[in-house]
Structure 1
Amino acid sequence: MADRSGSYQDLVVWQQAMDLTVTVYSTTKSWPKDELYGLTSQVRRAAASVPANIAEGYGREHRGSYLQFLRIAQGSLKELETHLLIADRVGIAPNGSTVALLASSESVGKLLRLLLRKLAGS
């Protein structure tokens, strides 16, 4: 994919995914300590996986590999959303703290879909 210039860090989707991950870490600091190795850890790993897979895919030489890593990022995003919904339902997350995270996740998801469509069509 030699036609690319710049870096994965220039991608708005990567930037937003990084922002989401930082916010997830900040938000989960207030979650119960007995969940540190449970849902808190899963939420953090899923969040961190999104920008990591975008970056890893960008570094691949073939478009097909890049698309596959973007799809993995999409899966991690859905995993994150599900874990956040679980945290909300079981009362781990303070009232309403997942609303902004879910909105950010939706924004990242839209950008990922746009990027996937662009790369798949070209």
Structure 2
Amino acid sequence: MRYENLDVWKKSVNLSCSIYLLMKNNRDFGFKDQICRSAVSVASNIAEGYERIHRKETINFLSIAKGSIGELKTQIIIGSKIGYISEASHLIQECEAIARMLGSLIKKLRQD
């Protein structure tokens, strides 16, 4: 299967784009860089995992992507608390949905 056909990859790309647009005018370059890097890391690690030859490598990169979505969720919560991100609940729900999807995908690949 191509990673471009995975719903989890599509959702991750869309979330990353949302974060980039949301942070576009933010002047706190340290925070902006960190949250954007973790956002782009999710879809990137899914893609890298699916381009690997061995299933064990694929699972490893999906696990990294799952860690990155947790990092992103934390940064969204922090950004909300310090006033950088309004309406964070939708973004948090997206992170949680992606985390669940990654967990299910990892579990399925381990069973096959």
Q: Give the TM bin, normalised by the shorter chain.
A: over 0.9
Deviations 1:37-73 (A, max 9, x none): 2111111100000000000000111010000000000
Q: Whose relative contact order is higher, 1 or 2, with alpha carbons under 8 Å and at least 6 apart?
A: 1
Q: List structure 1 runs of 4+ shifted beyond 3 angstroms.
A: none
1:27 aligned onto 2:22: yes
Question: Aligned equivalents of 2:111 and 2:74: distance in 1?
Answer: 30
- Identical-pair percentage: 35
Aligned residues between the structures: 112
Gap runs ≥5 in structure 2: none
- Residue of 60, 67, 75 corresponding to 1:68: 60
- Tell me the equivalent position of 1:3: none
CA RMSD of aligned residues (A): 1.1
Question: Aligned equivalents of 2:81 and 2:109: distance in 1?
Answer: 37
Normalising by the residue count of structure 2, what TM-score does the alignment of the two structures yield?
0.94
- Tell me the equivalent position of 2:47: 55
Select the structure that is richer in helix. Answer: 2
TM-aligned CA distance change 1:68 to 1:13, over 3 Å: same
Gap runs ≥5 in structure 1: 1-5
- Tell me the equivalent position of 1:109: 99
